[in-house]
């Protein structure tokens, strides 16, 4: 019941939300010569770097399932969406302070619009993942498992997680101006605390239990389930679902209680 009023408010303004998302995407690519291709080039370059480092330099072939390029690309693409959402939603209210203050739109809309825009960029990067998957399937190095059906569920779960986290970060940043720096440090640590460049199986047993507290761990397993079914860990997925729901509820409560102080501040 806590989530319903806010959800109804955002849905009722869905046309405004659509306009804002389109504006964000146009602004992002307006001054770029190759447009949205940067969305593909960035994670692809990072994935190839980690592949070379861990496969040929450290020869750590046990850190992830094979084909390792496909394994790491899934993680990097998903993490890019998550990290960009965390970074930009933390500034969502400050960046649009004049509109937030002068309109009667639901303030949650400024957070949701960022998560949707970044989610669209994530979807636009998936053809690269599909291309690698087709190549490795034809080469006989992987197959598509029926657990590929978990992929869209992972997208939905990550969307809710990002919205919940954004609803916490956006108002807190207005009041506590050091929050962007904390977010930046937390994301750097979070990259290595999330099974992006390694599989959960490669971590010591005590760390595997700690990873259950990282909601992105279970979400990544859902993304990879269609290509790496052995990566799927039911307790991790359950933990991700529970933590995502708790984060969403907490975000709704925090945002609602800090809305008045935020409006005074900006």
pLDDT digit string, tens, across residues 154-197: 999 999 999 999 999 999 999 988 898 999 999 999 999 999 98
Band (212; pLDDT cuts 50, 70, 90): confident
Question: Can you give the pTM of this predicted structure?
Answer: 0.89
User: Residue 43 above 80 pLDDT?
Assistant: no
Band (112; pLDDT cuts 50, 70, 90): very high
228 conformational bin, left if phi > 0, alpha if psi -120 to 50, beta if neither: beta
Residue 25: CB atoms within 10 Å = 18
Higher pLDDT, 34 or 43: 43
């Amino acid at each position: 019941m806590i989530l319903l009023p806010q959800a109804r408010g955002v849905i009722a303004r869905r046309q405004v939300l659509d306009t804002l998302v389109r504006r964000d995407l146009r602004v992002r690519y307006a001054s770029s010569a190759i447009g949205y291709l940067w969305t593909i080039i960035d994670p692809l370059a990072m994935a190839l770097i980690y592949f070379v480092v861990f496969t040929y330099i450290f020869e750590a072939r046990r850190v992830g399932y094979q084909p390792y390029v496909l394994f790491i690309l899934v993680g990097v693409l998903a993490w890019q969406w998550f990290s960009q959402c965390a970074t930009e939603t933390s500034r969502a209210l400050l960046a649009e302070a004049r509109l937030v203050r002068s309109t009667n739109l639901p303030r949650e809309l400024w957070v949701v619009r960022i998560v949707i825009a970044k989610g669209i960029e994530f979807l636009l990067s998936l053809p690269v993942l599909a291309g690698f998957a087709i190549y490795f399937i034809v080469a006989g190095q992987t197959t598509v498992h029926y657990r590929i059906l978990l992929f869209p569920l992972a997208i939905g779960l990550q969307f809710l997680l990002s919205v919940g986290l954004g609803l916490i970060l956006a108002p807190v940043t207005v009041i506590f101006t050091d929050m962007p720096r904390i977010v930046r440090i937390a994301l750097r640590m979070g990259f290595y605390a999330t099974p992006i460049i390694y599989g959960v199986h490669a971590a010591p047993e005590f760390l595997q239990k700690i990873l259950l507290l990282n909601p992105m761990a279970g979400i990544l397993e859902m993304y990879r389930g269609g290509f790496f079914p052995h990566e799927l860990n039911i307790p991790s997925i359950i933990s991700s679902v529970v933590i995502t729901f708790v984060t969403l509820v907490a975000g709704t409560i925090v945002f609602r209680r800090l809305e008045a102080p935020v409006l005074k501040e900006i």
